[in-house]
Amino acid sequence: MSESADPIRFVLASRSPARLATLRAAGVEPEVIVSDVDEEAIEAALPDATPAELAQVLARAKAEAVAKAMSGPAIVVGCDSVFELDGRPYGKPGTADVARERWQQMFGKTGVLHTGHCVIDTGANQRAEATASTQVSMGTMTPEEMDDYLATEEPLEVAGGFTLDGLGGAFIESIQGDPSTVVGISLPTLRRLLADLGVRWTALWNTEPA
């Protein structure tokens, strides 16, 4: 897509409020179209995929599903995050019991949050992809803190069962890498991918939803 004065239809293929908030804070107002990709089916079909590979495959599936539904030129961004601890992938816990078990396994350990990105220019039929990874060192919780955190339901629908930008941030000791990767969409990575497709990042600032 060539750079011009025409508005760019910029679509985020995700229901994640954290990804949307991250883009908005960076001056970009995307149109949100949820892909409804069956993540569990994809994961089940790829039992030997590494956590980083799984994140990228899921991001690609989301972007492709939404791109196929576009009726005109658009830039579609699909992302997915997978937390890796001791070589194992951890997606969304789904239930409080699973989230509790995972947190207990993560106490005092360092894992890696992988976020896959797939950007598709439907008008030019081009794409660019990359996976960003950031180390996350976890703290610990008292039983009472754990109960209180699980009661908020925040950790149930996020990769690894924790957030950096929400209530879970107080229990993360440190990170090494891009913070926005942990939130679910790496802004530096996205900017580079857009540049690969001929889209200037600043051309997206303050755009209106399509």
Query: CB of 19 within 8 A of CB of 79?
Result: yes
pLDDT more than 90, % of the chain: 82
Q: Name the DSSP class of 63.
A: H
Supply the residues annotated as catalytic.
80
So what's the pLDDT on residue 43?
87
Structure tokens at 154: 């925040």
Higher pLDDT, 71 or 145: 145
Query: CB of 63 within 8 A of CB of 13?
Result: yes
User: Average of pLDDT values for 165-193?
Assistant: 96
d(CA 78, CA 67): 10
Structure tokens at 68: 């196929």
pTM, rounded to two decimals: 0.90
Residue 1 has pLDDT above 60, yes or no: no
Structure confidence by residue, pLDDT tens digits, 28-49: 999 999 998 888 899 889 888 9
Query: CB of 140 within 8 A of CB of 108?
Result: yes
